[in-house]
Amino acid sequence: MSPRDRAAPPDLAVIGAGSAGFSAAITAAEAGARVALIGAGTLGGTCVNLGCVPSKTLIRAVENLHLAHAAARFDGITAQGRLTDWAATVAQKQALVEELRAAKYADVLPRHPGITYLEGRARFDDTGRLTVAGRRFPAARIVIATGARPHVPALPGIEEIAPLDSTSALALTDLPASLLVLGAGYIGVELAQLFARAGVAVTLVSRRGVLPEAEPEVSAALEGCLAKEGIRLVRARGYERLSPGAAGARLHLAGGDILEAERLLLATGRVPNSAGLNLAAAGIATDTGGGILVDSHMRTGNSTVWAAGDVTGRDQFVYMAAYGARLAARNAVTGATEAYDNTTMPWVVFSDPQVAGVGLSEARARARGHRVVTSVLPLDAVPRARAARDTRGLIKLVAEAGSRRLLGAQILAPEGADSIQTAAMALKAGMTYDDLGATIMPYLTTVEGLKLAAQAFETDVAALSCCAG
């Protein structure tokens, strides 16, 4: 921009400089708009700084310890893995975070001359006008992409024990001897296994079990895998309070039981960063959890304001944040009416075995009125798993009875994450299980399990030879 252009009000102000914010800003700039990208705090948001990158780096690090011990499943092989310096592992993780923050965020801004970056806290004043650092900031259109933060439950005594959350846990340079993980959704499961493999005595406690939104067969099988690794699993009716204990933290459960560990890690979900924006003054509504309400075009109740990413409270995955932000930006600056569509959104939990899914679960399909048929294939029916001597897991497919059209898929497998996109493409193409079962797939791959699971609707796959069908 020229100095004169910089003085002019931007066509679009984007609040939040994380994945969604950058996606919206770049999309708008590429469409020819003058964009103000407004950030407060560390550039890059949750994924690169606090979530995806640090967690998956450390998960992969401790996976090597597990693989060393698991090598004995092959006759004649003995291996050992030993953690010698956790602080060094964490430092290496942080170096990668800083490298990617620079490469994917800070160094990207100069490549887009249509974007001006501003540091300051943005909010609406009581007349509904946008301000930055307390000053009025005129903009023709606005996209809110302020993300989310870890949820802190309102438990009595919580302020006395300094609990960890997903951010502070991944920054620990000294490992605790024991850890209570409160919540067994995807964050709780990933972090419980991470620290258990690093040598911490972990108790994973929840009210609805492990991954309660997953297929029950998947949840039950993953519970068994975690238990075999020494993670204690506790199902609680409720949580009454927290208190300091001799070991560190005590969690008092409904019914009188007490769990104790050196540290407590809260993994009870994430809440949208919407409270400080004074949204009501701008005519912008939120749901009961603080998520900004948007229509299918990502527009809020204010006709000049759109919102995208975790601040909307839905589909809290970085790729969905970026996708929604692209739609919001295009709709805002070009007048388009592109609609958000998550019907074939794949999701992954980076446990081991990995959990991945797309489309409707059996329960959700039935709740939507579908007559369904299902196929559940244990991983020991997949040649890749047999050759790897690691048959932990299963594949479940959900289809519509009669039409045989695929409605959903979930995979629990050591390499399941890299296979789910095939299922997503099958759903997007409207394939039947006959179509998927007839698809040519390479032998001795995990993804071949999808073909076998599709064939299992009508065929006893144990009666097939290699690559049959």
> Alpha-carbon distance 414 to 350, whole Å?
9
Q: Is 128 among the annotated ligand-binding positions?
A: no
Known binding residue 190? Answer is yes
Let me know the angle formed at the C-alpha of 341 by 323 and 39, rounded to the nearest 5 degrees: 30
Q: What element of type H or E holds 228?
A: helix 216-228
What is the full DSSP assignment across 111-135?
G-TTEEEEES-EEE-TTS-EEETTE
CB 17 within 8 A of CB 43: yes
Q: How many CB atoms sit inside 10 A of residue 221's CB?
A: 20
Query: Do 264 and 110 form a contact (C-beta atoms < 8 A)?
Result: no
Query: Look-up: residue for tokens 């204690």?
Result: 232
> If residue 397 lies in a helix (H) or strand (E), which one and from where to where?
strand 394-400
Closest CA to 15 of 281, 286, 292: 292
Could you give the CA distance from residue 157 to residue 178 in angstroms, rounded to a whole number?
20
What distance in Å separates the CA atoms of residue 114 and residue 29, rounded to the nearest whole number?
5
What's the CA gap between 229 and 233, in Å, rounded? 11
Residue 224 annotated as lining a ligand binding site: no
Q: Which residues of 139-170 are buried (b: 16+ CB within 10 A; e: fewer)?
A: bebbbbbbbbbbeeeebeebeebebbbbeebb
Q: Is 269 annotated as a binding residue?
A: yes
Residue found by looking up tokens 């009581």 in the block? 126
Check whether 189 is labelled as a binding-site residue.
yes
Report CA dihedral (187, 410, 217, 466) to the nearest 10 degrees. -130
Nearest by Cα to 447 from 422, 414, 410, 412: 422
3-state SS class at 275: helix
Strand, coil or helix: 448: helix
* Residue with token string 């959350």: 165
The answer to whether 267 touches 191, Cβ cutoff 8 Å, is yes
Diameter of the chain measured on Cα atoms: 75
Q: Tell me how far apart the alpha carbons of residues 260 and 11 are, in angstroms, rounded to a whole number.
A: 55
Binding site for NAD(+): which residues? 183-190, 269
Binding site for FAD: which residues? 56, 310
Binding site: which residues? 56, 183-190, 269, 310
